[in-house]
Amino acid sequence: MRVLGIDPGLTRCGVGIVDVSQNRRATLVHVTVIRTPAGEKHENRLLTISDGIERLLDEYRPERVALERVFADTNVSTVMGTAQVSGIAMLAAVKRLLPIGMHTPTEVKAAVTGYGQADKKQVGTMVAKILRLEEIPKPADAADALALAICHAWRSPLGALAATAMTDLHGGAASRERPTSRPTSAQAAWLAAEQAAKAASPERRGLRR
C-alpha cells in the first residue's frame, strides 16, 4: 500500500510518501516540505501548495491520502490557513478518486510511538526508526507527514486484512496460537498504538499538539 501523508500548513506543508507491505514494514518513498513566503498574496500561496500536492500525486501515484484533522486554535488566522490547505489536498485526492483518511495528532502519535502525548522529537525518532533512516527527517513538518502516512497504513482495514492473510498463509489458526517469530519493531509499535488508542478517552484524542 502506498500512502501520501500531508501535514497541512500555509508556510510549511509537509508531504511524506511511504510504501507499507503486508507485514506492515514501511519504506520511505519521498518526503518534502512545500514552502510559501509569508509576504506573498494568500491566494498565490494556496496555488503554490495546490500545484505541489497535485504534482506529487501524479508523480508517485499513491493509493491513499492521509491528512491531519484540523482543530480549533487560539490563532484563528493559522487555523484558517491550515483548513484551506486541507481542503485543497482533499480536493486533489477526490479528483483522482483516492480514499482519504483523517487522523488527530493524538492518534498519529499513538500509532508511531505508542504514546498519544509524545513530543515532536519522539515522533521524529520513531519515524526514522520505522523507516530505517539514518537521520530524523527535518523539519518537523516532514516527519509529521511521514507519521501520518504510517499511521494511516497501519490503522486501515486493508492493513489489518493483509496481516490476517499473511498469518493464514503461514499456518492458519495454529500459527496464530503459536507464533514462530517475534514481531518486528514496527509491528510492536503498532500493537502498542492500538492499546493506547483504546485506553485514550475521546477528550484526549481531540487535544491539539
Choice among 19, 58, 63, 68 that is catalytic: 68
Q: Is 58 among the annotated ligand-binding positions?
A: no
pLDDT at position 73 is 62
Mean of pLDDT values over 73-84: 80
pLDDT in tens, 95-142: 999 999 999 999 999 999 999 999 999 999 999 999 999 999 999 999
* CATH classification of the domain holding 106: 3.30.420.10
Q: Is 68 among the annotated ligand-binding positions?
A: yes
What total of structural domains would you count in the chain?
1
- Does 180 score more than 50 pLDDT? no
121 vs 40, 99, 101, 149, 156, CA distance in Å?
31, 29, 24, 17, 25
- Does 197 score more than 60 pLDDT? no
pLDDT in tens, 81-91: 899 999 999 99
Cis peptide before 105 (omega within 30 of 0): no
**What's the domain range around 90?**
2-205
SS3 155: helix
Q: Is 7 among the annotated ligand-binding positions?
A: yes
- Does 209 score more than 70 pLDDT? no
pTM: 0.75
Choice among 7, 119, 177, 203 that is catalytic: 7
Choice among 141, 144, 194, 203 that is catalytic: 141
pLDDT in tens, 17-29: 999 998 999 999 9
Mean of pLDDT values over 45-71: 96
CB 65 within 8 A of CB 30: no
Mean pLDDT score of the chain: 81
Is 141 in the active site?
yes
